Amino acid sequence: MSHALEAVDISKSYLSPTGPVQILKGLTFHANANEFVSFVGPSGCGKSTLFNIITGLLQPDQGSIVVDNRETTGQVSPKIGYVLQKDLLFPWRTVIENVVLGLEITGVSKKIAREKARDLLRVYRMEGYEDKFPSQISGGMRQRVALMRTMITDPEIILMDESYKALDYPLKIALESELLEIVKKEKKTVVFITHDIEEAVTMSDRVYVMKARPGEIVNEIAVDLETDSPMIPERRMSKRFNDYYELIWRNIGISPLVA
Ligand SMILES: Nc1ncnc2c1ncn2[C@@H]1O[C@H](COP(=O)(O)OP(=O)(O)O)[C@@H](O)[C@H]1O
Ligand SMILES: [Mg+2]
């Protein structure tokens, strides 16, 4: 069967003053079309390194990335759109100017880009904010603008690296619910990177659990919360939530800090 995204035997080391340090070791995984797949693992296990390898920004030492049956290892694929950990908006551009940026780069006319951006601003309930600057809107809105800037290019696969990490809980679950609703409706494939087990369970169809030093996949878990609701509180209160949480916690290998 063909997958939207496939990775085979990915390894990566970084050079340190004392020699090479292996960060990722032998990662093989895939994402099916329309699937929401998460990677969950402790801080430092190599999640952002993996993100950079999938997007093609970083070359792995070994292994291959295949997008829609075409090898893209070390190349940026137009089928992948990514949202970085920090909402890196251009402070001198307004909201709408930030949203159209992704399309402007591909050479679409300004008029069409603006029309598409206005449609998106409506979907994300941000009408009336188009001429504000990033410094004039909230953190949640900035994160939405970063997502819209990716969505406007209509990528098949969306890659997100801890996008909701810095947000307070009510905002986080509001944005997560909104994301789930939109990606299910628009039939996107999502690869979502997080250190947060609760987030991985509530958002995903399938979870790859990673451990650190070196970063390896230790388990793959299909999640079925028995609800189709995109609302995170609803999903969180599923009777099955705790079973998945426990399974991942036992796999992830975080040792409690002794203060
Ligand atoms: N460019 C780099 N050079 C050397 N070491 C790096 C570099 N980037 C990350 N690392 C190291 O690789 C490990 C994994 O980092 P990272 O992929 O950012 O993990 P995560 O996103 O899971 O927290 C960390 O120990 C980090 O210090
Ligand atoms: Mg990271």
Contact criterion met (CB below 8 Å) for 38 and 194:
yes
More confident residue, 254 or 162: 162
Protein residue with its CA nearest to atom 7 in ligand 1: 14
Which residue in this structure is represented by tokens 């307070």? 168
Q: Which of 17-31, 102-116, 127-141, 180-194 has the lowest mean pLDDT?
A: 102-116
From the list 31, 27, 46, 51, the residue with the least C-alpha distance to 188 is: 31
83 CA distance to ligand 1 middle (Å): 18
- For residue 253, pLDDT over 90 is answered with no
Structure tokens at 9: 């035997």
| Among 12, 23, 84, residue to substitute to test ligand 1 (most atoms within 8 Å of Cβ) | 23
Please provide the DSSP assignment of 194-240 as one string: ES-HHHHHHH-SEEEEEETTTBEEEEEEE---S-----HHHHHT-TT
What are the residues whose beta carbon lies below 5 Å from ligand 2 (ion)? 47-48
> pLDDT band at 1, cuts 50/70/90?
low
pTM (two decimals): 0.92
pLDDT band at residue 87, thresholds of 50, 70 and 90? low
Residue 247 has pLDDT above 60, yes or no: yes
3-state class percentages of the chain: helix first, strand second, coil last, to nearest 5: 35, 25, 40
Q: What percent of the chain has pLDDT over 90?
A: 80
pLDDT at 139: 86
Predicted local distance difference test score (pLDDT) of residue 103: 87
Q: Which pair of structure tokens corresponds to residue 41?
A: 């693992």
The verdict on the CB of residue 28 being under 6 Å from ligand 1 is: no
Give the model's confidence band at 233: pLDDT under 50 very low, under 70 low, under 90 confident, else very high: very high
- Whole-number Å distance between alpha carbons of 8 and 26: 8
**Mean pLDDT throughout 196-213?**
96
Give me the helices (H) in the chain, please: 47-55, 95-105, 110-123, 139-151, 169-185, 197-203, 232-236, 241-252
Ligand 2: centre distance to CA 16 (Å): 18
Domain extents in the chain: 89-154
**Average pLDDT of span 62-87:** 89
The residue that leads in pLDDT, 40 or 103, is 40
Q: pLDDT tens digits, residue range 133-169?
A: 999 998 889 989 999 999 999 999 999 999 888 788 9
pLDDT at 155: 95
Q: Which atom of ligand 1 is nearest to the CA of 16?
A: 4
Closest ligand 1 atom to the C-alpha of 52? 17
Ligand nearest the Cα of residue 57 is: 1
